[in-house]
Amino acid sequence: MNKITKTTLLSLIISLFIAFILLLIFFYLYHGKNLGDEYRQVQSLKNALLLREATIHSLQFLPFVYIFINVLSFSVLFTLRPFHTDSFAYNNVAQPSYVLLIIFIMFIVSSEFVIIPKLAKENAPIKYRLRLAHRSASYAKELNTVREYEKAISVLNTYFEIDDNNQDMLDLYNNIMKILSKEPLPIDSTKKEISGVKEKVTVSYYEKGRTEYEKENYYSALYYLERALYLHKDNEELKELYKRCKGQVEDSLGKITKKEREKKRLIEHKERALDHLKNEEYYEAYNIFSDLNKMYPEMKDLSLYLETALRELEKKDFLPEELKNAEWLPSMNNIIFIDKQGYINTVERIIPYMDNFYFYNIRRHELVKGNMKTTHWKYGKWIKNKIRVKNDEGFKKIPEKDEGLHYIQTYIDPGYILYMNNSKELLTLLNIYERFSISENLHNSGFDIDNKYVYLSKKLGILFSVYVLSLFLSALAWARRSIYEFPPLLKLLLFILIVPVIAYFLHLLYIDMNNLIIYSHGYFTRVLFKNMNVALYTAIVNLVFSLIATLYFLSQSSRVE
């Protein structure tokens, strides 16, 4: 690599780097100024959001910046003193510029297909967390004002999951705790308490049972020992402890109810519920344990069995209370989509929270000619790739024939449904793999999205724009380059001000021209090559332009006309 080649590469890379940094700073400041109030609550998240937004926009603007740098280099930079050597030849600057252009196009490919969607995807939860923090802070203050302290504490706990450094919120938390006549927690212990929630105690059923037995909590001990016995039927030590525990419970049962008939019924019911639990019939088990628990709240084993059934049921069903408690969270509003069962669904609110998706006020309208009927559901929750819908009822087993009514089978995940209202944002989120794998499902859901090959053709337009414009304008700039030792300052200033704008508009014009090429595909295939793929057609037409630009670029020389 000779000195001129090195200088060429260095000047192009440094210019590109400086331009990118300048763009990044500009967009960071621009977005910082225009950021909505709901995204300003947590400084660290706000900075992360701004940095990603600025990077996305800088990457989107990078193609035209590269075109501008090429024009600037071939028009001015490569005519300056470091290039004034006897051995200088046009090839010394053209070759490294061409190689760098190819590398840059590869970078643009990864940027357009992967990096930008990845950054946008990372931004989506950050945005929601900021909205959540903002909503939690304002809602906790509201609750404090109306003296709903318990609820305010729960809302503040949600806030601390996002940001546990905000002094105002910590003060509010301590004030409320004071009012609730509890010891105010020092800041550190507040954090400790919050993080402590996540800690899981993993102790075996047998150990738990023995501990409860030693504490004389015989009902709890019975529950754990029964669970342990279910898993280890032949353990003698376990059998012995269970026998002793059962004896204690029977004694105690005598204190709870003296009526033999009632005692017998209780044992029968519990046995039946245990059978249901064993056969994974959780709805039935839940109903029996729920009734028994109401009748005998002192019997801790019943509530523990109830919890077990509840845990299992929550894997396929939900209680409306869960959604009522989450109602205050920020949501995506008024969303419409089509499902696999052939219904149009409208949802008033969707709340994405802690890996859950909650749906409020769902209306379903069957896509059948002349149908005017609509079914309405108050709540819905995303469970096992479906939306389980219901009104105010608790856990209720749905007969197989009615499943279509109580479950919405969507074409796409709720993470995409959230953006059905905001097509621009959704399209930015999708990387090339998703565009190819789910664009049909998005279309089936009613989302107005381009065919995957049209998408590819549009992206090709960006790549070819960089290639064709960089080469063509570089060649033109070189043919009409400056022959001054240093160009006149006023003209140089005008050049630096106007050329980026021209490069930007030419890049946009090329992309529009590419859209025109895509548009002409329909007409072309009517006449010739009926089944020709639109992406292939676009690539061929663009290749012709590329060839012309390459030939023009290669036809230049270091001779001054």
Closest approach, Cβ 334 to another protein, in A, equals: 5
Window 473-512: contact mask with another protein (x via CB under 8 A): ---xx-xxxxxx--xx--x--xx--xx-xx--x--xx-xx
Q: Provide φ and ψ at 26, rounded to 5°.
A: -60, -50
Among 184, 404, 415, 446, interactor with another protein by CB under 8 A: 446
Burial level of 467, CB count in 10 A (0-12/13-18/19+)?
buried
In this complex, which beta carbon is closest to another protein, that of residue 482 or of residue 538?
A: 482
Report CA-CA distances (Å) from 107 to 22, 203, 499, 509, 549. Answer: 19, 52, 23, 22, 21
376 binds another protein (CB under 8 A): no
Please list every residue from 59 through 118 that binds another protein, using CB under 8 A. 71, 75
Question: In whole angstroms, what is the distance from residue 474 CA to residue 251 CA?
Answer: 96
Whether residue 51 contacts residue 479, with contact meaning beta carbons closer than 8 Å, is answered with no
In the sheet where 332-338 sits, what is the strand order? 332-338, 343-353, 356-366, 374-383, 386-390, 407-408
In this complex, which beta carbon is closest to another protein, that of residue 103 or of residue 551?
A: 551
Closest approach, Cβ 380 to another protein, in A, equals: 14
Closest approach, Cβ 406 to another protein, in A, equals: 20
Q: Provide φ and ψ at 395, rounded to 5°.
A: -70, 130
In this complex, which beta carbon is closest to another protein, that of residue 179 or of residue 508?
A: 508
394 binds another protein (CB under 8 A): no
Closest approach, Cβ 215 to another protein, in A, equals: 53
372 binds another protein (CB under 8 A): yes
For residue 338, what are the contacts with CB-CB under 8 A and spacing of at least 6? 344, 345, 367, 411, 444, 445, 446
List the beta bridge partners of residue 333.
349
544 binds another protein (CB under 8 A): no
Closest approach, Cβ 416 to another protein, in A, equals: 14
In this complex, which beta carbon is closest to another protein, that of residue 370 or of residue 399?
A: 370
Among 447, 453, 455, 472, interactor with another protein by CB under 8 A: 447
Coil, strand or helix: which one is 559? coil
365 binds another protein (CB under 8 A): yes
336 binds another protein (CB under 8 A): yes
For 63, which DSSP code? H
CB count within 10 Å of CB 407 equals 20
In this complex, which beta carbon is closest to another protein, that of residue 61 or of residue 224?
A: 61
Coil, strand or helix: which one is 390? strand
Burial level of 36, CB count in 10 A (0-12/13-18/19+)?
exposed
List the beta bridge partners of residue 337.
345
369 binds another protein (CB under 8 A): yes
For 398, which DSSP code? P
Coil, strand or helix: which one is 182? coil
519 binds another protein (CB under 8 A): yes
In this complex, which beta carbon is closest to another protein, that of residue 99 or of residue 498?
A: 498
Report CA-CA distances (Å) from 367 to 267, 337, 347, 404. Answer: 52, 12, 16, 14
Q: 212: number of CA atoms within 13 Å, CB side?
A: 26
In this complex, which beta carbon is closest to another protein, that of residue 283 or of residue 504?
A: 504
Closest approach, Cβ 478 to another protein, in A, equals: 9
Whether residue 73 contacts residue 15, with contact meaning beta carbons closer than 8 Å, is answered with yes
List the beta bridge partners of residue 357.
352
546 binds another protein (CB under 8 A): no
Closest approach, Cβ 196 to another protein, in A, equals: 41
29 binds another protein (CB under 8 A): no
In this complex, which beta carbon is closest to another protein, that of residue 98 or of residue 447?
A: 447
Q: 21: number of CA atoms within 13 Å, CB side?
A: 6
Please list every residue from 201 through 260 that binds another protein, using CB under 8 A. none
Closest approach, Cβ 295 to another protein, in A, equals: 43
Please list every residue from 522 through 541 that binds another protein, using CB under 8 A. 523
Number of residues lying near another protein (CB under 8 A): 54
Stretch that binds another protein, among 56-64, 107-115, 350-358, 513-521 (CB under 8 A): 513-521
Report CA-CA distances (Å) from 551 to 412, 471, 472, 507, 556. Answer: 47, 9, 9, 20, 9
Closest approach, Cβ 189 to another protein, in A, equals: 45
Closest approach, Cβ 531 to another protein, in A, equals: 21
Where along the sequence are the contacts to another protein (CB under 8 A)? 71, 75, 333-334, 336, 344, 346-348, 361, 363, 365, 367, 369-372, 374, 420-421, 423, 443, 446-449, 476-477, 479-484, 487-488, 491, 494-495, 498-499, 501-502, 505, 508-509, 511-513, 515-516, 519-520, 523
